[in-house]
Amino acid sequence: MYRLMTVCTGNICRSPMAEIVLRARFEAAGLGDEVFVDSSGVSDEEHGHGVDRRARAVLAEHGYPTGDGHRARQVVASDLTSHDLVLAMTSAHARALRRLGGDDRVRMYRSFDPAAPTDGPEHLLDVDDPWYGDRSGFETCLAEIESAADAIVAHVRSFV
């Protein structure tokens, strides 16, 4: 089984949104039984909390399942060796993951987005943080996540 993890700060907004979107896309592509997707955060500040209510609401309105089983957790070094691909939501998350020893498995999530910038510093690929904003921030975050999702599925398909 191919194992993929998405990583953000507290594991209650961006990374679980990406986890939910990717699970749905892998299922639609007929790969749901061949790809395991989970998420974590670089911080333990939200440990044990569920997906942010605003993120759940936006996901539900876009037709994604938003079960309440998710519990935020902090990424640990063993996650990097037990996953084939680790997708960082921002360049700061990527740096933290690389410090844990995940150089060869860590990629920026939006590096798969065909509309994302291809030149310039890595931070230009950051998925916007919706936490401090209003509903529109969660809509923007979801749009960025969805924009890269099909290319992630295509990439993983070549390994399963």
3-state secondary structure of 110: helix
Alpha-carbon torsion (115, 118, 120, 125), positive or negative: positive
Q: Reply yes or no on whether 113 is catalytic.
A: no
**Residue 53 appears among annotated catalytic residues:** no
Q: Is 14 a catalytic residue?
A: yes
Amino acid at 86: V
Side-by-side strand order, sheet with 35-41: 35-41, 2-8, 85-88, 106-108
Residue in this structure with the two tokens 């990439």, named with its chain if needed: 155
- Give the separation between CA 66 and CA 57, rounded to whole angstroms: 8
User: Of the residues 44, 84, 129, 150, which is catalytic?
Assistant: 129
Sign of CA dihedral 12, 41, 22, 14: positive
User: To which H or E segment does residue 88 belong?
Assistant: strand 85-88
Instruction: Report whether 142 contacts 17 (CB < 8 A).
Output: yes
What are the catalytic residues? 8, 14, 129
